[in-house]
Amino acid sequence: MLKSREDLQKIREFYKERLDRQKVKILICAGTACVANGSLALYDTFMKLIREKGIDCAVDLEHEPEGNPVGVKKSGCHGFCEMGPLVRVEPKGYLYVKVKPEDCEEILEASVVNDTCVERLTYHKGDESHKHQESIPFYKLQKRVVLEHCGHIDATSIGEYIANGGYAALEKALFELTPEEVLHEVEISNLRGRGGGGFPTARKWSQVKRQKAKDKYIVCNGDEGDPGAFMDRSVMESDPHKMLEGMILAAYVCGAKQGYIYVRAEYPLAVKRLGIAIEQAKEFGILGDRILGTGLCFDIKISRGAGAFVCGEGSALTASIEGKRGMPRVKPPRTVEHGLYDSPTVLNNVETYANVPAIVINGGEWFRSIGPENSPGTKAFALTGNIMNTGLIEVAMGTTLREVIYDIGGGMRDGAEFKAVQIGGPSGGCLTKEHLDLPLDFDNLKKVGAMIGSGGLVVMDNHTCMVEVARFFMSFTQNESCGKCVPCREGTKRMLEILERIVAGNGEPGDVELLEELAETISATALCGLGKSAAQPVLSTIKYFRDEYEAHINDKVCPTKNCQKLRKIYIDPALCKGCSKCARNCPVGAITGQIKSPFVIDSAKCVKCGACVSACAFHAVKED
């Protein structure tokens, strides 16, 4: 239990010394994606080999042997999920990609026993190979503030966090700054909410601070429900203490005693790691009564979501923590006045809180020097879809889409052409080729009808049907509509019906206009953010890809051949050898014919599944 500033400084020195003593560190990525790819087996293999070879090894800082042991640890997400499982070896900074258990011995021999690099396991692009993580283009162009520790420290060790400068911001705040001074730094930094809205964080905090309520709450929104976004998951899994530190700083500023973290149930690993972090912080006296011996008392509880996207909305989220149905209410009053249990509540998302410690340590001016004036700082994005390097990245605000997609993301997969990127999930819009040089920040995106949202970037190539994408998002939102207000409950249903009709080839003239009219009505009248922005993906795809909608409606053609019901499959009699393989593969018996003479497809029976196309050895089954 740490009872003073000196205690914290002493323990930091203690852990630092232990960490510095480790001559080599092997960091095995234990993020969700790498675990799914088998990274835990790598950890076991390394441990087994180390024991067999009799190498001194330190698994955790608490039980470190004398001398210079090898540190073996499960780190948080490195971000380069495409290349997983990843193994990083420090201090050289070698990054090994797509590592298999049988590679472990070679890595151990080369990079631990000797001091060399296993070139064949490093990242290759074209003829170039990159030994060091920092020289890989995917990493080189990033600016990491929030994700600074991700992949570099053991996510389940408070000792490593402290040794790497963790809780130094809390120390500075508690012993050198007044709550007003901390708030002032956040204000100078112009940090804006990373959950999507971009509301100035300092303004939110000061609104809660100035109220004289008995109870105030600090709530963290970890209900990252946008499909295709996993920035917050990564922070919670990889560097949970950073987020806790941000929340404690918010409590210090606002005078709150209780905090809650609302996490999606779909993130079991994040729930587990946060739980460990909170327990450790309590043991250390960093959470609980009289934090570090000062007058600050603050505790944090985890509240698990139960699978409702709408709970990402402020008033629905607080209702859910209270044990109610997560349905939004009319605002105002806003959450800062009547939030959790009707008390003033600071509600920020994971990434926002994780930005605060660096601001307190380095000052607001430092933060503002990164990125554009009105949207300073960095932003984490989840890069997914038809892109080469999927994964988690963090760049300075104002970085262009081209840099993100081509320089960091490595361009499109399989030589396809870039078509669009969906930003901001089901509440955002799409950006196209014409926006490639648009700097990504809150205001620029708003101007073109998109939003930064929580930061999911789903990249789509020229084989993607934009009408189908719009239908997909509408079906998501419709499914997640809580049903409280009519415009959202009924409106999204009608929009979905129209979109389903269009992709099925039954679109009617005037459907696009009808969609636009419904969209406008829903946006103007829905109760909460979910409803208000529900039509965004439809509107933005109509804006940039109206010709695709028209092709579906007027010509009954899907230009990208995605929409199954619009496929036209036929057998070319000149190429057909009459082998009957297609007929045998057809699940509905739509293909008939005589052996050794051309077969035919009965289009009335055909379900357009394409089984015959892949079955034919002579490429005789064709698609228009």
Partner 1 sequence: METVCDAVQLDRILEKYQYDPGSIIAILQDTQEVYHYLPRCVFPYFSGKLGISEARIFSIATFYENFSLEPKGKYVIKVCDGTACHVRKSTAILDRLRSELGLSSSKKTTDDLLFTVETVSCLGACGLAPTLTVNDKVMGMMSPEKAAELLKELKEENADA
Chain contacts with partner 1 (rule: CB under 8 A): 32-33, 35-37, 81-82, 84, 224-230, 233, 265-268, 303-309, 320, 322-327, 382, 384-386, 390-391, 422, 425, 456, 458, 460, 464, 469, 472-473, 476, 480, 482, 587
CB of 4 to partner 1, least distance (A): 33
> Could you tell me which of 433, 460, 435, 434 has the C-alpha nearest to residue 445?
435
Which residues have a Cβ under 8 Å from the Cβ of 463 and sit 6 or more positions away?
386, 416, 560, 561, 562
Q: In the bound complex, what is the minimum distance in angstroms from residue 321's beta carbon to partner 1?
A: 8
For partner 1, the closer of residues 577 and 581 by Cβ is 581
Closer of 101 and 165 to partner 1 (Cβ) = 101
Q: How far is the CB of 34 from partner 1 (least distance, A)?
A: 9
For the bound state, the minimum distance from the C-beta of residue 252 to partner 1, rounded and expressed in Å, comes to 26
Q: Give the nearer residue to partner 1 in terms of CB position, either 38 or 573.
A: 38
Q: CB of residue 103 vs partner 1: minimum separation in angstroms?
A: 19
Q: How many CB atoms lie under 10 A from the CB of residue 415?
A: 7
Query: Please, which residue, 241 or 484, has the CB nearer to partner 1?
Result: 484
Contacts of 296 (CB under 8 A, 6+ apart): 174, 248, 251, 252, 290
Residues 419, 113: Cα–Cα separation, whole Å: 48
- Angular region, 216: left φ>0, alpha ψ -120 to 50, beta rest: beta
Q: With left for phi above 0 and alpha for psi between -120 and 50, is residue 580 left, alpha or beta?
A: left
Which of 362/475 has CB closer to partner 1?
475
Closest CB to partner 1 among residues 156, 303: 303
Q: Least separation, in Å, of the C-beta of 274 and partner 1?
A: 15
CB of 235 to partner 1, least distance (A): 12
| Least gap, CB of 613 to partner 1 (angstroms) | 13
Distance CA 117, CA 131 (A): 7
Running DSSP on this structure, what letter comes out for residue 620?
A: -
**Chain centre to alpha carbon of residue 98:** 21
Task: Report helix, strand or coil for 439.
Answer: strand
Distance of CA 378 to the CA centre of its chain: 14
Please say which residue, 16 or 413, places its beta carbon nearer to partner 1.
Answer: 413
Scan for tokens 């709408």, then name that residue.
310
Q: Which residues pair with 526 in a beta bridge?
A: none
Q: How far is the CB of 82 from partner 1 (least distance, A)?
A: 5
Which residue number, 160 or 224, has a Cβ lying nearer to partner 1? 224
Residue 507, helix vs strand vs coil? coil
Nearer to partner 1, 64 or 239 (CB): 239
CA distances from 488 to 3, 265, 344, 477, 605 (A): 52, 25, 28, 9, 37
What's the min distance (Å) between Cβ of 219 and partner 1? 15
**Residue number, 145 or 392, with CB nearest to partner 1:** 392
Residue 29 pairs in a beta bridge with 75
Judge whether 576 and 515 are in contact, CB under 8 Å: no
Using DSSP's 3-state secondary structure scheme, residue 490 falls into helix
Largest Cα–Cα separation, the chain: 90
Residue closer to partner 1, measured from CB, 84 or 339 = 84
Closest approach of partner 1 to the CB of residue 264, in Å: 8
CB of 587 to partner 1, least distance (A): 8
Q: What is the CA radius of gyration of the chain?
A: 27
Under DSSP, the state recorded for 597 is S
Range 119-136 burial, b when 16+ CB lie within 10 A, else e: eebbbeeeeeebbbbeeb
Distance CA 211, CA 216 (A): 9
Task: Select 12 or 552, whichever has its Cβ closest to partner 1.
Answer: 552
| C-alpha dist (Å) from residue 223 to 147, 227, 344 | 19, 11, 20
Coil, helix or strand for 591? Answer: strand
CB atoms under 10 Å from CB of 322, counted, come to: 12
- Core vs surface per residue 432-448: b (16+ CB within 10 A) or e: beebbebbbbbebbeeb
Structural contact between residues 90 and 23, judged by C-beta atoms closer than 8 angstroms: no
Say how far apart CA 496 and CA 402 lie, in whole Å: 32
CB of 52 to partner 1, least distance (A): 29
- Nearest-approach distance from CB 435 to partner 1, in angstroms: 18
Starting at the earlier edge strand, list the strands of the sheet with 258-263: 299-304, 258-263, 217-222, 345-349
Residue 310 CB, nearest distance to partner 1 (Å)? 10
Select 111 or 386, whichever has its Cβ closest to partner 1. 386
Shortest Å, Cβ 228 to partner 1: 4
Cα gap 371→373, rounded to integer Å: 7
Nearest Cα residue to 24 out of 63, 55, 62 = 55
**What residues contact residue 199 under an 8 Å CB cut-off, 6+ apart?**
192, 193
Cα–Cα distance between 286 and 278 in angstroms, integer?
9
Pick the closer one to partner 1 by CB: 294 or 562.
562
